[in-house]
């Protein structure tokens, strides 16, 4: 394609322009063969490529083999941007091999609450750490000729009702917490694309939200790439085009293309709005074209496996090590107990699932280590109830050993995309096993494989805890290298671990079956809440992690450009320490967390070695969002600088005076007492309304008559229980019955798929998320039936079905063209 973009815009007809801003199937965009405009091919890939084989879809069929790297929940615990860069490089090489143009990742959504079913896919509860790691990932991929798609923009922080929910929050919380990681990544790494989230943000769907897509993303941050809808997340295509959403994915069988054409011809949509989007799409096509010319015939599978192992080794977190229980001694007699030793939970569940090149299992590789393994017992059923028989067999084996390596965790059904967790506990059968093993008096090393925080009332009953999160395909050797001392652990938590779920600041306002999700806790999530003077604190605080050596912090010097201090390895083994810098302002006139992470360095020190460490102040260090001026400002006054090993362990404290604005009068303290106190568990309606600066949205559904609603495109399938028409109630009832039946017979994964893919989805998803299997015109007929007009709706449904068959042939032709136009 040699013509420049402006020339192409003049040559392209309206139908071709409308096609260019839409998908042609699940992972390809539409080409224009007559002008040599090829298709873009995408792949899921937060922590490894999910390249769908031909004929595959977005989450069900088998994908091509690729490296399963540790998930973001673990890589974040490495606090190492360079490792994310290396991971990005490796993924880019695999993308070139498979002919992928854009990798759908990384995800930088903030972990608002530990119940979030997709938390394993995201980095942190802290936006600064998430942003820094995402920058490394994006640069690693894009500097090797492949684009990324930063996701999910924005405030997509729970899975229940994720496609119809409305995230309700104030502008300052939005800017400082939920957008900051996106902002940092867009400004510093320049991702090729950004994926809009399914949900509404303050009443407007993210994919058609001009405040997010135009005012913030483009006008303020200078984003020059394309916005891609999450799959099936395009609610109103015309509104999305006007707001600046370039690409709708996946295909709707050309239906929304025709909507765009019709809107332009009727004057409801300006052709210039379409041209702007087409211009950006073609620019992406051109910028990703070169990698196709030098696509490798293979990639180094073993090297990528070792990269995955190294990243896991750098990230695993040692939470407890009583009386130096670890590392294990050579020839120590160990019993291996727990299903997760022989069938490791190494990745998440949902659209990020990778078909790994190979998976190391503990029982398969432990023979390479100088340990005396006395045997293995399962100990519990992964998906079942307590089995005394399995516990008894585990106890019998434990008696033969000096040390028990107990592998526990969460199964693939408990935490998954589309489903939030019901609680933050380990399953009861595993808790029973831990208790039973404790009473043997043997040394117990607990290895956890789960993607998010859990309550640990059993922490005092084990000698050591190694948290592996979801460590990727090479996780087994990473775990064993740390257990045996071959590698000194250096990971630190990227999220807080509360004593119990009731301690979470958002506990009362998360995961409710309500379309409005109220972020009443505001800025105070994670350690920003637990670090408050009156708070109970966390069992394991943000930034916490142990080593086989010890470190000392000395000689803090604070200057205008940053902080300098001396870090000393006071132990007898080499190690790495993650030194963290937090900033607070005790005398602020705006409410703030006691301290916030604003810098960190991972430092390697030989035994007894000292180094001077410098952590700079950057543009994010002292700013806050001024709700009066609608911009970031620095408040004038004295700031406290904290340096140490975690958000709680901060031995060095200094101060610095900063010039800035007088922040008096921005908030009325008398109307926001709980926010100024940092005690946000019980925020009343009036105080939250004061924070928002507007009225609260109405609660839940609006009934048109007693227990009956008017069904529309954005009514969820679960809402159909209250439909006026019997067909709607029958449809919802059948889906719910199917879910309950599948769970009863043990098909929990299939049941969760129904919950994720049907029950809480909007009615429009029957068309938008099925690749056009049903047209929106047919859906109108269904909605008529759901609203009590059965015969009229049935007639309309059948009539539109005949018309859709004619259009299907055209779509099949476009799909074929997309695959044959790749190299042009």
Give CA–CA dist 560/337, Å, rounded: 54
Omega cis (within 30) before 707: no
> How many helices (H) and strands (E) are present in the chain, helices listed first?
24, 26
Distance of CA 72 to the CA centre of its chain: 8
Could you give the angle at the alpha carbon of 85 between the alpha carbons of 82 and 91, nearest 5°?
Answer: 145
Contact 421, 409 (CB under 8 A): no
Contact 720, 731 (CB under 8 A): yes
Could you give the angle at the alpha carbon of 405 between the alpha carbons of 399 and 410, nearest 5°?
Answer: 125
CA distances from 561 to 90, 313, 613, 656 (A): 35, 33, 13, 11
The residue written with tokens 């190294």 in the block is 310
* b/e sequence 262-291, b meaning 16+ C-beta within 10 Å: ebbeeeebeeebbbebbebbbebbeebbeb
Residue 44, φ and ψ in degrees, nearest 5: -60, 150
Give CA–CA dist 119/130, Å, rounded: 12
Give CA–CA dist 546/689, Å, rounded: 43
Contact 541, 493 (CB under 8 A): yes
Give CA–CA dist 391/398, Å, rounded: 10
CA distances from 88 to 84, 152, 193, 664, 678 (A): 6, 18, 16, 45, 38
Residue 761, φ and ψ in degrees, nearest 5: -80, 155
Which tokens in the block code for residue 1? 């394609």
Catalytic residue among 44, 230, 253, 719: 230
- The answer to whether 662 is a known catalytic residue is no
Give CA–CA dist 382/386, Å, rounded: 10
Q: HEC profile for 189-251?
A: HCCCEEEECCCEECCEEHHHCHHHHHHHHHHHCCCCCEEEECCCCCCCHHHHHHHCCCEECCC
Which tokens in the block code for residue 723? 């439909």
Cβ contacts of 270-275, under 8 Å, gap ≥ 24: 271/14, 273/241, 273/242, 274/14, 274/17, 274/18, 274/21, 274/241, 275/9, 275/17
DSSP bridge partners of 29: 23
Pairing of strands 204-205, 200-201: antiparallel
Contact 53, 63 (CB under 8 A): yes
Give CA–CA dist 620/137, Å, rounded: 20
564 sits in which H/E element: strand 562-569
Give CA–CA dist 579/601, Å, rounded: 5
Q: Choose among 759, 757, 772: nearest CA to 716.
A: 759
CA distances from 289 to 7, 743, 824 (A): 19, 47, 9
Q: Choose among 686, 679, 490, 661: nearest CA to 589.
A: 661
Which tokens in the block code for residue 141? 């991929």
Length of the chain: 824
Active-site residue list: 230
């Amino acid at each position: 394609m040699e013509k420049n973009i402006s020339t192409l815009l003049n040559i392209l007809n309206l139908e071709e322009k409308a096609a260019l801003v839409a998908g042609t199937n699940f992972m390809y965009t539409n080409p224009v063969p007559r002008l040599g405009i090829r298709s873009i091919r995408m792949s899921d890939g937060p922590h490894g490529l999910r390249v769908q084989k031909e004929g595959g879809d977005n989450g069900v069929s088998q994908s091509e083999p690729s490296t399963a790297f540790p998930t973001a929940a673990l890589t974040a615990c490495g606090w190492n941007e360079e490792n994310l860069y290396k991971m990005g490089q490796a993924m880019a090489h695999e993308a070139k091999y498979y002919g992928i143009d854009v990798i759908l990742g990384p995800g930088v959504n903030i972990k608002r609450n530990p119940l979030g079913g997709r938390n394993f896919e995201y980095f942190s509860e802290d936006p600064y750490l998430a942003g820094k790691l995402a920058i490394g990932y994006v640069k690693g991929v894009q500097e090797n000729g492949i684009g990324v798609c930063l996701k999910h923009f924005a405030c997509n922080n729970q899975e229940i009702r994720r496609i119809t929910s409305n995230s309700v929050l104030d502008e300052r919380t939005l800017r400082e917490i939920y957008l900051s990681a996106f902002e940092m990544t867009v400004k510093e790494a320049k991702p090729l694309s950004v994926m809009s989230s399914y949900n509404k943000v303050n009443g407007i769907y993210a994919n058609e939200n001009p405040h997010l897509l135009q005012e913030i993303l483009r006008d303020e941050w200078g984003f020059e790439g394309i916005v891609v809808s999450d799959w099936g997340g395009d609610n109103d295509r015309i509104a999305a085009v006007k707001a600046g959403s370039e690409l709708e994915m996946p295909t709707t069988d050309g239906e929304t293309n025709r909507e765009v054409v019709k809107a332009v011809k009727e004057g409801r949509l300006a052709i210039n709005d379409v041209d702007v989007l087409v211009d950006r799409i073609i620019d992406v096509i051109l910028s990703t074209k070169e990698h196709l010319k030098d696509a490798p015939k293979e990639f180094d599978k073993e090297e990528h496996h070792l990269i995955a192992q190294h990243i896991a080794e750098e990230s695993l977190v040692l939470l407890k090590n009583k009386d130096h229980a670890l590392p294990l001694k050579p020839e120590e007699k160990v019993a291996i107990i727990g299903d997760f030793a022989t069938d490791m939970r190494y990745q998440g569940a949902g659209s990020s699932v990778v078909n790994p090149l190979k998976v190391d299992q503990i029982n398969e590789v432990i023979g390479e280590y100088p340990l005396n393994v006395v045997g293995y017992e399962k100990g519990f059923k992964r998906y079942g109830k307590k089995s005394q028989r399995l516990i008894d067999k585990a106890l019998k084996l434990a008696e033969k050993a000096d040390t028990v390596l107990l592998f526990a965790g969460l199964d693939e059904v408990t935490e998954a995309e589309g489903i939030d967790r019901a609680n933050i506990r380990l399953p009861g059968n595993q808790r029973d096993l831990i208790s039973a093993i404790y009473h043997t008096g043997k040394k117990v090393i607990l290895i956890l494989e789960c993607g998010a925080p859990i309550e640990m009332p059993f922490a005092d009953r084990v000698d050591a805890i190694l948290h592996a999160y979801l460590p990727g395909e090479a996780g087994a050797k990473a775990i064993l290298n740390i257990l045996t001392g071959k590698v000194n652990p250096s990971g630190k938590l990227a999220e807080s671990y509360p004593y119990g779920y009731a301690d979470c600041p958002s506990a009362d306002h998360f995961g409710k079956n309500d379309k409005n999700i109220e972020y009443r806790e505001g800025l105070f999530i994670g350690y920003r809440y637990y670090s408050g003077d009156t708070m109970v604190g966390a069992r394991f605080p943000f930034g916490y992690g142990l080593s086989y050596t010890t470190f000392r912090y000395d000689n803090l010097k604070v200057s205008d450009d940053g902080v300098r201090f001396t870090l000393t390895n006071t132990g007898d083994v080499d190690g790495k320490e993650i030194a963290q810098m937090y900033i607070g302002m005790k005398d602020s006139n705006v409410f703030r967390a006691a301290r916030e992470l604003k810098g960190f360095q991972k430092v390697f020190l030989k035994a007894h070695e000292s180094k001077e460490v410098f952590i700079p102040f950057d543009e994010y260090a002292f700013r806050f969002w001024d709700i009066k001026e609608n911009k970031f400002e620095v408040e004038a006054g004295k700031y406290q600088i904290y340096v140490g090993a975690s958000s709680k362990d901060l031995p060095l404290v200094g101060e610095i005076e900063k010039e800035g604005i007088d922040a008096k009068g921005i908030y009325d303290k008398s109307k926001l007492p709980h926010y100024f106190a940092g005690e946000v568990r019980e925020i009343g309606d009036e105080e939250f309304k004061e924070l928002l600066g507007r009225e609260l949205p109405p609660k839940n559904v609006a009934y048109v008559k007693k227990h009956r609603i008017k069904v529309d495109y954005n009514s969820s399938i679960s809402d159909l229980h209250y439909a006026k028409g019997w067909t709607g109630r029958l449809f919802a009832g059948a889906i719910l019955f199917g879910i309950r039946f599948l769970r009863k017979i043990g098909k929990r994964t299939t049941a969760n798929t129904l919950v994720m893919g049907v029950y809480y989805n909007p009615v429009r998803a029957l068309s938008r998320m099925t690749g056009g299997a049903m047209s929106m015109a047919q859906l109108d007929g269904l909605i008529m039936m759901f609203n009590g007009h059965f015969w009229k709706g049935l007639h309309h449904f059948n009539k539109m079905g005949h018309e859709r068959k004619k259009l299907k042939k055209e779509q099949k032709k476009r799909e074929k063209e997309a695959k044959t136009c790749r190299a042009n």
